[in-house]
């Protein structure tokens, strides 16, 4: 064999080494796999035998993450995707296979999700209606009127942190033959598992709490038995999948998500009470607040004191300029557009998550120009509060 040939073939594709198992899943970057004979490959491709054949159909690193998430969410299967939006797209397309091409969605969704439903699904003839997801009677009436194929909601709405009665909504959707799709990004399966409450498909932006370190863009779809085949077929045909390296990072992140989120929820509780008593603060939105408009639902669906680590607040008499000045004064808290990382982050929904909505649309949703969203991290809470205090002082 000539060196040129050796450079292409040598070293790789060694036989499996018997006698040991890697303790953590390695990053498998191979796009295809070699079998001893074509008959075996034929069986693997025909799914009569377990095995890998081609990276779009499956990858051992991605499969390890999918198995972990399937187990955490309690589903029949999972697909890890290249972004949270890819996960939401996949979930929505899968839900509409063999069902009416109509969607009922929560009126307060992540801006890009609303945009995807209206602009992209709308442009191919899928009609979306919106409803106040915290009003179960309104959801029931809208489902009866629209007879949708899918109902879409977030466990905790962004950025006003409202919580709908997911179990009731799942039952309403099922009774009408629709699938409930839940974006569980803000809660993670550590706090709430939508499939156990009757949802058919769960989607995540793994970019956030799951990966947790600000170094991955990714998503996950977990589906029940009725929906997994559609999710899998679409994923394998269209290929919106997570890379082996991002799958490795996400899996590594998930190993500490329980510890992180417990501390983040504790810190969020302290930050929310501190903000509520600050004279420059108009209003605080926090799922752990006993006066929260959905407090009864939260108490019923979430574990005690683990209701999420997002805190939104409004600054008194502030507009866009004052909010910009406040954000620029922050020294420790990171100004950004993401959430769920181990560092505390401040986002301004009007220019970030809800930028794609018109000012009128934002106003209708209650997303005012003085609203700031904090994703609380794992730092010492005293340092988070000190930074907020110095930035609010001049307000």
Ligand X SMILES: Cc1ncc(COP(=O)(O)O)c(C=O)c1O
Catalytic residues: 56, 110, 183, 208
Structure tokens at 188: 């993670």
Read off the DSSP letter of residue 142.
Answer: H
| Region 317-356 residues binding ligand X, contact defined as CB under 6 A | 353
**CA distances (Å), 59 to each of 38, 205, 220, 293, 340, in order?**
20, 20, 15, 44, 26
* Shorter beta-carbon distance to ligand X: residue 78 or 280: 78
Q: Which residue is nearest to ligand X (CB)?
A: 84
* Shorter beta-carbon distance to ligand X: residue 84 or 253: 84
130 touching ligand X, by CB under 6 A: no
69, 252 in Cβ contact below 8 A? no
Q: Which residue matches tokens 């907020």?
A: 388
The least CB distance from residue 302 to ligand X, in Å, is 17
* Shorter beta-carbon distance to ligand X: residue 184 or 267: 184
Give yes or no for a cis peptide into 196 (omega within 30° of 0): no
* Shorter beta-carbon distance to ligand X: residue 171 or 351: 351
Q: In residues, how long is the chain?
A: 395
158 touching ligand X, by CB under 6 A: yes
111 touching ligand X, by CB under 6 A: no
Q: Which residue of 25, 70, 103, 110 would you call a contact of ligand X, by CB under 6 A?
A: 110
Of the candidate spans 6-14, 165-173, 178-186, 263-271, the one that interacts with ligand X by CB under 6 A turns out to be: 178-186
Q: How many residues bind ligand X (CB under 6 A)?
A: 15
x/- map, 77-106, ligand X, by CB under 6 A: ------xxx---------------------
**CA distances (Å), 143 to each of 44, 165, 177, 194, 295, in order?**
42, 15, 10, 19, 25
Q: Determine which helix (DSSP H) or strand (DSSP E) holds 174, and give its type and residue range.
A: helix 166-175
Angle at 15 between CA 12 and CA 20, to 5 degrees: 110
210 touching ligand X, by CB under 6 A: no
Rounded Cα distance, 395 and 393, in Å: 5
Residues of this chain that interact with ligand X (CB under 6 A) are 83-85, 110, 112, 154, 158, 183, 185-186, 205, 207, 217, 219, 353
């Amino acid at each position: 064999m000539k060196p040129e040939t050796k450079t292409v073939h040598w070293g790789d594709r060694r036989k499996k080494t018997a006698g040991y198992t890697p303790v953590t899943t390695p990053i498998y970057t191979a796009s295809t796999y070699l079998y001893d004979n074509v008959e075996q490959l034929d069986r693997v491709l025909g799914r009569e035998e377990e095995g890998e054949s081609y990276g779009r159909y499956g990858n051992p690193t991605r499969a390890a993450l999918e198995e972990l998430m399937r187990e955490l969410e309690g589903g029949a299967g999972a697909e890890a995707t290249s972004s949270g939006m890819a996960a939401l797209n996949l979930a929505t397309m899968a839900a509409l296979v063999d069902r009416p091409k109509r969607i009922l969605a929560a009126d307060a969704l992540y801006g890009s999700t609303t945009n995807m439903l209206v602009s992209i699904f709308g442009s191919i003839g899928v009609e979306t209606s919106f409803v106040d997801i915290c009003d179960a009677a309104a959801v029931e009436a809208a489902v009866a009127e629209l007879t949708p194929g899918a109902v879409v909601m977030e466990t905790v709405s962004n950025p006003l942190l409202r919580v709908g009665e997911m179990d009731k909504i799942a039952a309403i959707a099922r009774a009408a033959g629709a699938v409930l799709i839940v974006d569980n990004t803000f809660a993670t399966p550590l706090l709430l598992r939508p499939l156990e409450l009757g949802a058919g498909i769960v989607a995540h932006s793994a970019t956030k709490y799951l990966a947790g370190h600000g170094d991955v863009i990714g998503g996950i779809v977990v589906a029940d038995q009725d929906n997994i085949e559609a999710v899998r077929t679409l994923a394998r045909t269209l290929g919106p999948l997570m890379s082996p390296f991002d799958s490795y990072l996400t899996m590594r992140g998930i190993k500490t998500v329980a510890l992180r989120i417990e501390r983040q929820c504790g810190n969020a509780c302290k930050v929310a009470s501190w903000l509520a008593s600050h004279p420059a603060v108009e209003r605080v939105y926090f799922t752990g607040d006993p006066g929260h408009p959905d407090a009864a639902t939260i108490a019923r669906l979430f574990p005690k004191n683990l209701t999420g680590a997002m805190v939104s607040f409004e600054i008194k008499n502030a507009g866009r300029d004052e909010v910009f000045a406040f954000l620029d004064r922050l020294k420790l808290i990171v100004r950004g557009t993401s959430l769920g990382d181990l560092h505390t982050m401040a986002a301004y929904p009007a220019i970030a998550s809800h930028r794609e909505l018109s000012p009128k649309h934002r106003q209708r949703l209650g997303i005012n120009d003085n609203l700031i969203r904090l994703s609380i991290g794992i730092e010492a809470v005293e340092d988070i509060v000190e930074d907020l205090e110095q930035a609010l002082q001049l307000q």
